[in-house]
Chain A
Amino acid sequence: MSTPEPASLDRLRALFRESFDLAPESEVDSLAYRAVPAWDSVGHMRLIAALETEFDVMLETDDVIDLSSFAKAVEILGKYGIGGE
């Protein structure tokens, strides 16, 4: 398992902001499911689609329903080898 490198993390932050209609510089590292109104079911699937397009992966069902925070997203993407060396 690897941890995404800073460049991937920045892409990830941008995707979170885009998916949940957040301001460009807003803090997202502590964001969790339903912490903002836009992160509901529809927002969640929008985020998943954005992640899959950006990182060219297909997430397993279990990972889709477990991706409940920014930190979890980092962990799950690491599992798919995104951002490793």
Chain B
Amino acid sequence: MFGCDGSGIALLEPADGTRLSHADLRDSVAAETARLRRLAGSQPALVLIALAPAIAPVVAHLAALSPGFAAMPVAPELDGPALAALIARYQPELVIRPTLPADLGYDAVAPGTWRREAPATRPLHPDLGLVLSTSGSTGSPRCARLSRTAVAANARQIVEALGIESDQRAPTSLPLSYSYGLSVLHSHLAAGAAVILTGEGLTSRGFWQVLAEGEATSFAGVPTSYEMLRRLDIDRLAPPSLITLTQAGGAMKPALTDHFLGFALRRGGKMFVMYGQTEATARIAVLPAGALPDRLGAAGRAVPGGRLSTIDGLGQPLPPGAEGRILYQGPNVMMGYGEGRDDLARGDELSGRLETGDLGRLDPDGMLWITGREKRIAKVNGQRLNLDEIEARAAAFGRAAALDRGDTVAILLAGGETPGAEARAGFAQGLGLHSSQLRWHSIADLPLTERGKVDYAALAARLAELSR
């Protein structure tokens, strides 16, 4: 898939000591592709994979990126009604998962492999290679439809922008069903480098043991990961081999970036700050390591083969330095969104042109600075959350307004009481969050603008007073 002819180690699973070379991986993927083909028949088939950080599901995922298939990786934890709803919407021909409820219309055709009984309502578009949820762990129905060429292009772009060499080894420090986590896998395989497969969290001793045993050279994290690592003391935990850090998944406090830049520099390594979206497969911009600390707070320059520009409300290009809507153009842009099976028959609707929904400005040398968002979106744990959707859900408790507070979301309820602990916990879980990442406040009324819309600026000011 990634045109890698490397010969070194491709995948390590320290949990059971397995090591797979790139040559072995190519053989395994070829065998898995043939197996899936036999099971799926001759038509292009969608393969939903519970993409746990282990060799078998990773091989199945890579096979499903071959022509004649499209891969739909989901979190291994996705289960119950959310999994059933996703399967009903997208009608995958095959499901790769240890177990599957009996009433979904699938037959067990091999251990951990399930085949759909009824034919899907629409065929897949032949270019479709990867179907990725745009909001990660919640199993939201909205997905980015990515072509095989976009997936391969972004992997190459990342290899080039980060200078990934075949001797590098990255652990799965982020879920593989999340575009950033998946991009670590794809880019390292494309570079002939290795990925250390582990499901351990970075707050457990097991994670650091795996990094030491696998001689990890790099670590990928979202702002939340680095907040945790700061408390944990990375100097003490990271094995000596670990010298490269990458950060994406939302803006990180400059002081925190500076802290980890210090760690990387002490070890003669590099710290990369990056910007991206699932809609562009994963990566849009990378801040070259040498640009820190001078450009602390910048989002980086477009990845090779991509182009960033800013446009006004009418879509007209703006001069350098002017704040506007951020437009990205490149080979890694999705074909379009999908909300169900019928959409997967559609071709490319964007022609490589992605309006990111973010606001910012570009320096004359192409350096991007993000200043805000057009849409009401918050990012917590690197996951994108639609604030309007949270408001709609919170309406069950009263008139609600949701505000982005950096690493948390504030929910203000007008004229009612905030829900009890159990209801708050359930509400947070439905969004894939911890209850501590949602802050509930009760206020007398919701301030409105002259046009009768919720006045979010006034609310933010009131919230600042409440939290004082």
Nearest Cβ distance between residue B419 and chain A, in whole angstroms? 13
Q: Considering only CB atoms, which chain B residue lies closest to A65 in the complex?
A: B205
0/1 interface trace, chain A 3-25, chain B, CB 8 Å (1 if under): 00000000000000000010100
Residues of chain A within 8 A (CB-CB) of B202 are 41
What's the minimum C-beta distance from B449 to chain A, rounded to whole angstroms? Answer: 35
A21:B232 contact, CB within 8 angstroms: no
Contact A44 to B434, CB < 8 A, known contacts A21-B425, A61-B236, A65-B232: no
Partner of B77, one of A37, A48, A64, A66: A37
Are B205 and A61 touching (Cβ within 8 A)?
A: no
Q: Does B436 contact A (CB under 8 A)?
A: yes
Contact A64-B429, Cβ < 8 Å, known A43-B434, A46-B434: no
A21 with B204: CB separation less than 8 A:
no
A40 interface hit (Cβ, 8 Å): yes
A-B contact pairs, 17 of them (CB 8 A): A33-B201, A41-B202, A41-B203, A41-B225, A42-B436, A45-B227, A45-B231, A46-B436, A61-B232, A61-B233, A61-B236, A64-B231, A65-B203, A65-B205, A65-B237, A66-B205, A68-B204
Q: For the complex, give the distance between the alpha carbons of A21 and B434 in Å.
A: 8
**A41 CA / B174 CA spacing, docked (Å):** 11
Establish whether residues A41 and B237, one from each chain, have CB atoms under 8 Å apart when the complex forms: no
Contacts of A57 in B (CB 8 A): none
Residues of B within 8 A of A45 (CB): 203, 227-228, 231
B435 at interface, CB cutoff 8 A: yes
Q: How far is the CA of A76 from the CA of B228 in the complex (A)?
A: 20
| Cβ contact within 8 Å between B381 and A65 | no
Residue A38, interface by CB 8 Å: yes
- Whether B205 pairs with A21 at a CB distance below 8 angstroms is no
Contact with A along B58-85 (1 / 0, CB 8 A): 0000000000000000000100000000
A23 to B425, CA, bound (A): 10
B294 in contact (CB, < 8 A): no
**Chain A binding site: helix, strand, loop or mixed by DSSP?**
helix
- Closest 3 A-B residue pairs measured CB to CB? A21-B425, A41-B201, A44-B203
- Of the candidates B227, B233, B236, B428, the one whose C-beta lies within 8 Å of that of A21 is B428
What is the size category of the interface that chain B forms with chain A? 20 to 34
**Closest A residue by C-beta to B437:** A42
Find chain A residues with CB under 8 A from B421 CB.
Answer: 21
Asked if B349 lies at the interface with its beta carbon under 8 angstroms from chain A, I say no
Interface string of B354-391 (1 = CB under 8 A from A): 00000000000000000000000000010000000000
- Beta-carbon contact of A64 and B428 below 8 Å: no
Is residue B140 within 8 Å, beta carbon to beta carbon, of the partner chain? Answer: no
A-chain residues with CB within 8 Å of residue B224 when the two chains form the complex: 42
CA distance A65 to B291 in the complex (A): 33
The contact string, 1 if C-beta is below 8 Å from chain B, for chain A 37-69, is 110111111101000000000000100111010
Known: A65-B205, A68-B205. 8 other contacts (CB 8 A): A21-B428, A37-B429, A38-B425, A38-B429, A61-B237, A65-B208, A65-B237, A68-B204
Q: Which residues of B contact A64 (CB under 8 A)?
A: 203, 231-232
Least CB distance from A60 to B in Å reads 9
Within 8 A of A (CB), among B230-247: 231-233, 236-237
Q: Does B450 contact A (CB under 8 A)?
A: no
Q: Which of A33, A41, A66 has the most CB of B within 10 A?
A: A41
Contact call A40/B201, Cβ cutoff below 8 A: yes
Q: Are B204 and A33 in contact (CB under 8 A)?
A: yes
Q: In the bound complex, do residue A42 and residue B429 qualify as a contact, i.e. CB atoms below 8 Å apart?
A: no
How far does the Cβ of B412 sit from chain A's closest Cβ, in whole Å? 21
Task: For residue B173, give the distance in angstroms from its CB to the closest CB of chain A.
Answer: 10
Taking A21-B421, A65-B203, A66-B205 as contacts, is the C-beta distance between A42 and B381 under 8 angstroms?
yes
Could you tell me if A23 and B422 are in contact, using CB atoms closer than 8 angstroms? yes
Docked complex Cα distance between A49 and B62 (Å): 40
Min CB distance, B427 to chain A, in Å?
10
**Residue-wise interface mask of B (425-462) relative to A, using a CB-CB cutoff of 8 A (1 in contact, 0 not):** 10011000011110000000000000000000000000
